[in-house]
Amino acid sequence: MMIEEDFLVIGSGIAGLTFALKASQFGSVAIVSKDDLSESATLYAQGGIASVMTDDDSFELHANDTIEAGRGLCREDVVRIICREGPSHIRELIDLGVKFTRIQGENYHLSREGGHSRDRILHANDLTGQEIERAMIEAINSKNNITVFPHHMLIDFMTISRLDSKVEPGSPKDEALGAYILDVKTNQVKTFLSKITLLASGGAGKVYLYTSNPDTATGDGIAAAYRAGSKIANMEFIQFHPTCLYHPQAKSFLISETVRGEGGILRLKNGHTFMENYHPLGCLAPRDIVARAIDHEMKKSGDDCVYLDITHLEGYRIRERFPNIYQTCLKFGFDMVKNPIPVVPAAHYTCGGVLVDLNGQTNIRHLFASGEVCYSGLHGANRLASNSLLEGLVLSNRAVSKAALLLKSKSFNKTIFHNVPSWDYGNSVDSDESVVVSHNWDEIRRIMWNYVGIVRSDKRLRRAERRIQLLLDEIKEYYWDFKITKNTLELRNIALTAHLIVMSALKRKESRGLHFTLDYPKTDISWIKDTVLQDTTRRLVSQTSLRATSHE
Ligand code: SIN
Q: How far apart are CA 333 and CA 320, in angstroms?
A: 19
Report pTM: 0.94
Residue 267 vs residue 477, higher pLDDT: 267
From the options 3.90.1710.10, 3.30.70.890, 3.30.70.240, 1.20.58.100, give the CATH code of 434-551.
1.20.58.100
Atom of ligand 1 nearest to the CA of 388: 8
Q: What is the mean pLDDT of residues 525-538?
A: 95
Q: 505-510, long-range: CB within 8 Å, 24+ apart, which pairs?
A: 505/235, 505/236, 505/452, 505/456, 505/461, 506/458, 506/461, 506/462, 506/465, 507/236, 507/531, 508/236
Q: How far apart are CA 223 and CA 204, in angstroms?
A: 10
Ligand 1 center to residue 344 CA distance, Å? 15
Q: Which atom of ligand 1 is nearest to the CA of 389?
A: 8
Which pLDDT score, from 0 to 100, does residue 338 have? 97
φ, ψ of residue 241 to 5 degrees: the values are -75, 130
Distance 385 CA to ligand 1 centre (A): 5
Nearest-angstrom CA–CA distance, 116 and 63: 10
Q: Does domain 2-237+351-418 have CATH number 3.40.50.300?
A: no
Catalytic residue of the set 287, 321, 383, 508:
287
Domain ranges for the chain: 2-237+351-418, 245-346, 434-551
Question: What CATH number matches the domain at 245-346, 3.40.190.10, 3.30.1240.10, 3.90.700.10, 3.90.1150.10?
Answer: 3.90.700.10
Cα distance between residue 18 and residue 76, in whole Å = 24
Best mutation site among 258, 262, 325 for ligand 1 pocket (most ligand atoms within 8 Å of CB): 258
> CA-to-CA distance for 126 and 326, rounded, in angstroms?
10
pLDDT at 276 over 50: yes
Q: How confident is the model at residue 49, as a pLDDT? A: 98
Q: pLDDT at residue 376 above 50?
A: yes
DSSP label at 383?
A: P
| Per-residue pLDDT band at 309 (split at 50, 70, 90) | very high
- φ/ψ (deg, to 5) at 462: -65, -40
Q: Looking at residue 543, what is its pLDDT?
A: 54
Catalytic status, residue 462: no
Residue with more model confidence, 204 or 106: 204
* Predicted confidence (pLDDT) at residue 24 exceeds the cutoff of 90: yes
Which range (142-151, 366-375, 419-428) has the least confidence?
Answer: 419-428
